[in-house]
């Protein structure tokens, strides 16, 4: 028994969040922010074994027993309800779902294959929806929330990336649908990042400068900017916000 807690005061369970694509970049920043806010975390990844292990060790050093590492290919439908079930099995509840994992690669018109289309839609749109569907009973019980990571290109398509842009547009529409379907117990919102981290496959310097020139603040943002927006949308401070897309893009015009 904890001597600092009166015997008649029930132990309050910590909030639990499932974060997809949590190993690196924006996903890792979101995980750190939510963990610092008191969440226990189910940390999903696909192939970033070393990175997810390091992140879990870092968070566990702060609060033991607060993380669970889950590996899954989000394009495989059966793995989606399994991720939710394993999270609830480990922590006993689910308060937040953060659909951060994304698939992004160029698909110039005239070269797009059905497989590329299916891969981009599977991770960027289908997986968030079916994860939300599987999570819905647990989120309702906790009066929880969903945050989907959209993209500025959902509304302003990126040349050479038509299926990706369409998939993110679908995710925005799904976010608004989920807000209607799950109300009033569960809120669903999205965050649309602008220039935060440049694509890992590289981008010409001129293209980067053009993006910055079209951004009112004239600079890139940080993963922590996105993490702060996600945390706010999950918090009680955003308790009257649902079905919205929060653009964290520095005032980008295009």
Token pair recorded at residue 74: 């989000």
The structure's pTM equals 0.91
From 39, 153, 164, 240, active-site residue: 164
pLDDT value at position 214? 80
pLDDT value at position 180? 98
Is position 164 annotated as part of the catalytic site? Answer: yes
- Label the pairing between strands 96-99 and 40-45: unpaired
How many Cα neighbours within 13 Å face the side chain of 215?
20
| Separation between Cα atoms, residue 23 and residue 58, nearest integer Å | 12
Contact 94/18 with Cβ under 8 angstroms?
yes
Contact 70/52 with Cβ under 8 angstroms?
no
pLDDT value at position 6? 44
pLDDT tens digits, residue range 139-193? 999 999 999 999 999 999 999 999 999 999 999 999 999 999 999 999 999 999 9
What residues contact residue 173 under an 8 Å CB cut-off, 6+ apart?
none
Domain 16-194+224-246 belongs in CATH node 3.40.50.720: yes
pLDDT value at position 7? 46
- Label the pairing between strands 145-149 and 245-248: unpaired
The residue extents of the domains of the chain are: 16-194+224-246
| Separation between Cα atoms, residue 241 and residue 238, nearest integer Å | 5
DSSP bridge pairs for 215: 252
What backbone torsions phi and psi does residue 162 show, to the nearest 5 degrees? -60, -50
DSSP 178-237: HHHHHTTT-EEEEEEE-SSS--TT---HHHHHHHHHTBTT-S---HHHHHHHHHHHHSGG
Q: Which residues of the chain have pLDDT under 70?
A: 1-12, 200-204, 254
How large is the angle between the packed helices 127-142 and 162-182, nearest 10 degrees? 20
């Amino acid at each position: 028994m904890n001597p600092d807690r009166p015997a008649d005061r029930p132990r309050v369970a910590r909030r639990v969040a499932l974060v997809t694509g949590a190993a690196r970049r924006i996903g890792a920043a979101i995980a750190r922010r939510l963990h610092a806010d008191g969440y226990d975390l189910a940390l999903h990844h696909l192939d970033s074994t070393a990175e997810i292990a390091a992140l879990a060790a870092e968070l566990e050093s702060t609060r033991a027993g607060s993380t669970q590492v889950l590996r899954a290919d989000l394009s495989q439908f059966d793995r989606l309800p399994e991720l939710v079930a394993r999270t609830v099995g480990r922590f006993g509840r689910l308060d937040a779902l953060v659909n951060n994992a994304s698939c992004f690669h160029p698909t110039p018109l005239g070269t797009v294959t059905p497989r590329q289309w299916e891969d981009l839609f599977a991770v960027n749109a289908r997986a968030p929806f079916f994860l939300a569907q599987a999570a819905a009973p647990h989120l309702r019980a906790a009066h929880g929330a969903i945050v989907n990571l959209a993209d500025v290109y959902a509304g302003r398509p990126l040349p050479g990336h038509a299926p990706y842009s369409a998939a993110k547009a679908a995710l925005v529409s799904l976010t608004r649908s989920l807000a209607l379907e799950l109300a009033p117990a569960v809120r669903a919102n999205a965050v649309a990042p602008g220039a935060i981290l440049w694509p890992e496959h590289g981008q010409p310097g001129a293209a980067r400068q053009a993006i910055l020139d079209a951004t009112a603040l004239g600079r890139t943002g940080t993963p922590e900017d996105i993490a702060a927006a996600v945390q706010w949308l999950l918090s009680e401070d955003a308790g009257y916000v649902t079905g919205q897309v929060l653009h964290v893009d520095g005032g980008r015009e295009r």
